[in-house]
Structure 1
Amino acid sequence: MNIENGAHRPGKWRFRFVYAIALVLFLVAGGRLFYLTVVDKEFLQNQGERRAVRSESIPATRGMILDRRGEPLAVSTPTWTLIANPKALWKMEQDPQQGETPSQEIKRLADAMGVGQAWLQDRFTNNKNRSFMYLKRQVAPHEADRIMAANVVGVSKTREYKRFYPAGEVAAQVVGFTNIDDKGQEGIELAYDKALQGNPGKRTFLKDLNGNVLRSIGQDEPERPGQNIDLSIDLRLQYLAYRELKAAVTEHRATSASAVILDVRTGEILAMVNQPSYNPNDRSALEYDELRNRAVIDLFEPGSTMKPFTVAAALMSGQYNTESTINTAPGYLRIGRFTIRDEGNYGKINLETLLVKSSNIGASKIAFSLPQDAIWNIDYELGIGSPVGIGFPGEATGNLPSHPKWHPSEIATLSYGYGLSVSTLQLAQAYMTLANGGYRVPVSIFKQDGKPVGKQVIPRNVARDVAKMMEAVVQRGSGRAAQIPGYSVAGKTGTVHRVGSKGYEYDQYNAMFAGFAPASNPRLAMVVMINDPKGRQYYGGEVAAPVFSRVMEGALTILNISPDLPDGLREVRLDTKKAPYRVAQGN
C-alpha cells in the first residue's frame, strides 16, 4: 500500500510541473500578442504598409495594323503612367519623424509635373482615403523620369502603351482608334479588338511605401503580344485617292464624299477614303460626323450607274442583242401621273447609245419588256441589298425593294437606279463583278494569299459586251472626263437628286462615277461618290469622273499595269454576231 502511494506521488508532481510551464508560456505569448496588437499597433501597421506584396499586370503590346506592303497603319509605343498613393502621403502627418509635410511633397510634385499646386492639392485631398490615383497617363519616358526624380512619397510609375497612327487622317475611318485603355473604339481597331489585344502577363513583388520594388517574389507570367493584321489597303493608293477626293470636295464645296478601289481579280480593297476625315493622333477637336466610314455606312440612290446592269439583264433575257433598238421618242414617257424624261428626244437608239446618252426611257422600256423580277434578280446577284461582309462595324445593308406585285413606276425607276439604295462599297463590288467577266468574288479588307472562289452571276460574253458599251460612254458620252492617256476605260456616270425631308430636292445632287481599267483586261474597279456639290458643276461627269481619272491613272502607274492604248484611244467595235448568251462556268 505504501509502495503504491509512493509511486503515485512522483507522477502527479511531474504533471503539475508541465502544466505550470505551459501556463507560463501561454501568459508570455498572450502578453506579447497584446503588446503587438494594442501597444505597438501603429508601428506594425506602418511596417506592413511599407513592405507589401503586390501583384501587377504586365501590359501586352497591341498588335500592329499594316497595309499590304507591310507599311504600319497603327503601332504601339511604350510609355509610362504615373500613379500615386494618396493614403500613404497623408500618413506623413501622423509621423513626426518625417522631414516634410504632405503639402510640401505635393508642391514639389506639382513643380515637376508643371501643374498648379492648388489643383493637385485638391486631387490628393479628395482621394485622401484611397491607395490608388492616376496622376498622368501615357507619359513620355524622359518626362516620367523628370517627375520621378522629385522622389515624392507614394508616387510610382507603371508601363503602358500608346497607339500611334502614321497615316493620320488618310486612313482614319478604316483603321479607327483605341481609347486611353488601349481598347478599340472604331474601325478595324474595334472590329478586331480581341485579336489585337493579346494577353497581359503578371508579376508578384515586394514594394515599399514609396512604390519602389524591393524584390520579385515567385514566378512571373510573361505577356503575349497581340496579333498583327495585314490589310489589303495599299497606302500609296490610299494617299493618292484621299488627296484627290479632298481636293474635289474643296473645289466643289461638297458636303461629303467617298471612294473605293478594288482589285478586280481578288476582291481586295486597295483604297477606301472618305471626306470629311479626322486625325486619330489628335482627337481634341473631333466631331462625331467625321468618324463615319461613309464608303461602308452611308447609303444613296445610285441612279444611272445601274443602267449597265439593266442592259445586262436585257442581253441575258435573249430578247435583245447588241444591235437591238429601242424607240425613246418623243423624249418623255407617261405612266399614269408619273412622267419619265430624257435630256432630249433621242428617237430610236441601240443599247450602246442608251448608255452613252443615259436614256431613262430606254432603260424603262427594257424593264417593261422583261419579266417583272429580271432586273431585281441581277441586282441581287451582284450584291445589291446585301451586306458586303467585310466585318466592318456599322456596315450598311442597303435596300433592294421586292414587291409581290410591281407597279409600272417601280419597275421603271429600278431600271435607272432610283428606288433602291447602295453604299459606295456595294456599288464598287457590282462593277468589279462586271469587270471580272461576270464572276463575283468576295470583297476583302484583308490581304489575300490565293485566288478567291466566287460565282458566275453574269455570262462572260454579256459582261464583255456591256463593258465595251461602257467604253463608249467614256469615249464620247458623259464620262469623257474619266479618260486616261494610254489606257482604255469603261465606266458610267450618275447624277441623282438628293432626298430631303419633303422628297427629292431639285437643287441638290449626288454626283457619281463608277468604272474600271484597263477596259481590255480589267485590273482595278473604282467608284467615286460626291455628296451635294454646291458649285456650278454638279453632274457626275463633271465632278466625280475627273477624280476617277486622276486616281486611276496614278494607281495603274504605281502598280506597274501596262498601258493598253499605246497609240491613243482605241475604237470600240461590238461583236454583232447574235450568239446565244450562256452562263460560263468558272472564271
Structure 2
Amino acid sequence: MVSLGLTLVMLAFVVRLFQVQAVDADAYAAKAEKNRYSSHKLAAERGAITDRGGVELATSVDAYDITADPTLFTPKETKIGDAPEQAAGLLAPILGEDADKLAQKLRTPKTRFTLLARRETPQVWKQIKDLRATLAEKASADPKAVNVLAGVLAVPTSKRVYPNDGLAAGILGWVNADGKGGGGVEQQLNKELAGKQGEIRYAQSGGRQVPTAGRSEKPAVPGSDVELTIDRDIQWAAQDAITEQVRKSNADRGYVIVQDTRTGEVLAMANAPGFDPNDLSQAQSTSLGNAALQDAFEPGSTAKVMSMAAVLEENAATPGTRVTVPNRLHRGDRLFQDDIDHPTWYLTLNGVLAKSSNIGTILATGELGKTQKQANKVLHSYLRKFGLGKETGLGFPGETSGILAPPEKWSTSQQFTIPFGQGVSINAMQAASVYSTIANGGVRVEPTLVRGTKGPDGRFTPAPAPKKTRVVSTKTARTLAQMLESVVDDEEGTGTKARIPGYRVAGKTGTANRVDPKTGRYRGYTSSFAGFAPADKPRVTVYCAIQNATKGSYFGGQICGPIYKKVMQFALKTLQAPPTGKAPARLPVTFDPGRPETPGRPPNGR
C-alpha cells in the first residue's frame, strides 16, 4: 500500500510537470512576461536661467509623464471588453484630453508603453493615484469589479515654468513638447541646460514595481544654470515702456535695447508685442522669437552718426565746418530733400547732425574721397567696422546680419542714401552697438547676453571675454559725443524730448521709410532714437525703434525720445550712476554766411 501511494504521488508530480512544461507552457510564459524587468529613462532636471542678480527667469518644477501599459487593458487581462474605454472615460476630465484618443492609445498593440500626457502636475498624478487606489479596493472586495486604472503609471520628470510670464520671453525662448529648447537662450544653450538623462531598471508585476526583486539605477545629471547679463528690473521698465507706446501708436511692433557701454553687456532687450512662454497656445506666430535681433530694417537718421564718424576720423571736416544746405539737392538720378521744406540752411557739421539734414549728410560724406566711388569705399569700411552686415557676436538663434552691399554694388541712389541710413538694413542690437562704441571711446565691444554658467557641482564658469575692436579714435568718439548732445540739448535739435534733468544726454533721432515685410515695398516708417548717458562719462546706451506707427506722430524724436528718457532714467537710477555736474560744450549749430569762416579747417579738407 505504501509503495502504491508513493507511486500515485510521483505520477501526480509527473502529470503536473508535463502540464506546466508542455500543455500550459504558453500561459505560464505569458504570466512570467507580466513580471519581467522594465526600464525607463530618468529625465535630468533642466538648469535654471537667471538674471545678473540671480533672479530666476526660467526654472523647472516637479511633474509627471502619465503613461500606461496597454497589455494590462486587454480583455484577457481585465476579463472585460471595454477596459480602455472605461479607463479613458475616467482619465479624460483629469488630463484634459479627448477620451477617444486616450482609449486608442490604451489599445495600442504589441507594446507595454504608451504616453498619455506630458508634464502633468503632482496634483494631477495624485488625483489619478487616489482614484486607482479606490478602484483597487473595490476590486479586492468584489471579485466582479475591475480596476481599469491598474495599468496607469507615471514617470517623474519636470516642467518648465517662467515665473515672470512674458518678461524677457524673446531672450529666453521656450521648451518644446520634447523637452528641448525651441527658441532663444533655451535653444542656444540647450546642451548646457538639459543635462544628461539617467535610466532605471526594475521588475514589475501587474503594472507595479516589485521592491524585493532588485533594481538598478543610473542617476540623471542635472543641467547647468545659466546667468544672463539682463537686469530684471531694467528689462521690466524697457518692456513696459515699449509695450505702452506700441499700443498708443497702433504700431506693428517695437523694441528697446539697453546696453552697458563699457562691458557690452545687454541689460535689457524688450519686444512688443511679446508672448508668454508658459502658454504658447495664446501666442501670435508673428510675436514669437526675438524681433530685436531677427528683424532687419533701414535705420534712417540714427545711422548718420557713422557717417559723421567717418568724416571726422578721415579729417575731412570738423564740427564747426560750414555746410550750406539747399532746399533740394540733385545727385545721380534723384532730387534729395530733408524731412521739411526750408530755405537755404547755413549749418555747421554739428548742425547737420543736430537738425538731421539728409542733404547736409550727403554733402559731408562726399568729402571722404576725390571721387564718389572713393567716398563710397571709405564709408563702407567704417560701416563694417561699426558691425554692419555681420552678426553681432551674440550667436542668437535666427539673428539677422542685416544687409550691407559691397560699395561696388551700390546703386546710383544708394551711394547717396546709405549715408543717411536708407538702402542699408540692420537689427536693433547692431544699432545700439554703434552708439555704445562711440560711448566707449571708439572701441567696439561685442555685445553679450550670457555672463556664465553654474554646473551641478556649483562651480561658476564665466563666459568668454567679448572681442574688442578699435573703430575710431578716442578724440573722434569724444567729438561725436559732444555733437550728439546738440541733438538733445540745442533748441534746434530734433531730440529735445529725450532730455533728462541733471544729466548730459547724447542721442540721435531717426525716421526712416520702412520696407513692408509682406509686400517688399516702402510703406510707413521706422521711428527710432538712440543715445547714451551721461554724455561726458557714458554708462548706458538705450536704443528704441517702433515699426509702422499709424496713430499720432511717427517721428522718432516724438515717440521714441520719451521712451529713451523713461528707460534711461530708470537704468541710471538702478545702476546708481550719478550726473557728472559738468557743463556741456554747446557746439554751434548754424553760422552767419556774412561772417568769414574761422581758421582751423583740416589740412586735407575739401
Judge same fold: TM > 0.5, yes or no: yes
CA gap of 1:491–1:33, structure 2 versus 1, over 3 A, is farther
RMSD: 2.8
Conserved 8 A contact 1:304-1:493: yes
CA gap of 1:194–1:124, structure 2 versus 1, over 3 A, is closer
How far did residue 203 of structure 1 move?
Answer: 2.0
How far did residue 241 of structure 1 move?
Answer: 0.3
Alignment pair present for 1:409 and 2:413 = yes
Partner of 1:62: 46
Partner of 1:11: none
How far did residue 64 of structure 1 move?
Answer: 0.9
| 1:185-224 aligned within 5 A | 185-215=182-212, 217=214, 219-224=216-221
CA gap of 1:489–1:76, structure 2 versus 1, over 3 A, is same
Alignment pair present for 1:242 and 2:256 = no
How far did residue 534 of structure 1 move?
Answer: 0.5
1:67 maps to amino acid: D
CA gap of 1:48–1:502, structure 2 versus 1, over 3 A, is closer
Partner of 1:381: 385
CA gap of 1:30–1:232, structure 2 versus 1, over 3 A, is farther
Partner of 1:455: 469
| 1:154-193 aligned within 5 A | 154-193=151-190
How far did residue 352 of structure 1 move?
Answer: 1.0
Aligned partners of 1:185, 1:405: CA distance in 2, in Å? 37
How far did residue 532 of structure 1 move?
Answer: 0.3
CA gap of 1:553–1:148, structure 2 versus 1, over 3 A, is same
| 1:142-161 aligned within 5 A | 142-151=123-132, 152-161=149-158
Which of 520, 530, 533 matches 1:514?
530
Query: What SS does the corresponding residue of 2:320 show, helix, strand or coil?
Result: coil
How far did residue 254 of structure 1 move?
Answer: 0.6
Partner of 2:481: 467
Conserved 8 A contact 1:106-1:117: no
Query: What SS does the corresponding residue of 1:87 show, helix, strand or coil?
Result: helix
Which of 312, 317, 322 matches 1:315?
312
1:85 maps to amino acid: D
Query: What SS does the corresponding residue of 2:131 show, helix, strand or coil?
Result: coil
Conserved 8 A contact 1:108-1:150: no
Query: What SS does the corresponding residue of 2:251 show, helix, strand or coil?
Result: coil
Partner of 2:67: 83
CA gap of 1:117–1:272, structure 2 versus 1, over 3 A, is closer
Percentage of identical aligned residues: 31
Aligned partners of 1:216, 1:491: CA distance in 2, in Å? 73
Query: What SS does the corresponding residue of 2:363 show, helix, strand or coil?
Result: helix
CA gap of 1:478–1:39, structure 2 versus 1, over 3 A, is same
- May I ask how many residue pairs the two structures share in their alignment? 544
Aligned partners of 1:118, 1:368: CA distance in 2, in Å? 73
Alignment pair present for 1:553 and 2:598 = no
Unaligned runs of 5+ in 1: 1-27, 582-587
Conserved 8 A contact 1:261-1:269: yes
CA gap of 1:481–1:30, structure 2 versus 1, over 3 A, is farther
| 1:340-379 aligned within 5 A | 340-342=336-338, 343=340, 344-371=342-369, 372=375, 373-379=377-383
Partner of 1:504: 522
How far did residue 78 of structure 1 move?
Answer: 0.9
Query: What SS does the corresponding residue of 2:157 show, helix, strand or coil?
Result: strand
Aligned partners of 1:213, 1:484: CA distance in 2, in Å? 71
1:475 maps to amino acid: D
Partner of 1:136: 117
Aligned partners of 1:176, 1:61: CA distance in 2, in Å? 18
CA gap of 1:525–1:159, structure 2 versus 1, over 3 A, is same
Which of 247, 270, 273 matches 1:276?
273
TM-score where L is the length of structure 2 = 0.84
Alignment pair present for 1:436 and 2:436 = no
Aligned partners of 2:43, 2:102: CA distance in 1, in Å? 30
Conserved 8 A contact 1:363-1:415: yes
Aligned partners of 2:228, 2:520: CA distance in 1, in Å? 42
Query: What SS does the corresponding residue of 2:573 show, helix, strand or coil?
Result: helix
How far did residue 30 of structure 1 move?
Answer: 11
Unaligned runs of 5+ in 2: 1-11, 133-148, 370-374, 453-461, 589-597
How far did residue 118 of structure 1 move?
Answer: 5.9
Query: What SS does the corresponding residue of 2:535 show, helix, strand or coil?
Result: coil
Conserved 8 A contact 1:493-1:540: yes
Aligned partners of 2:520, 2:27: CA distance in 1, in Å? 78
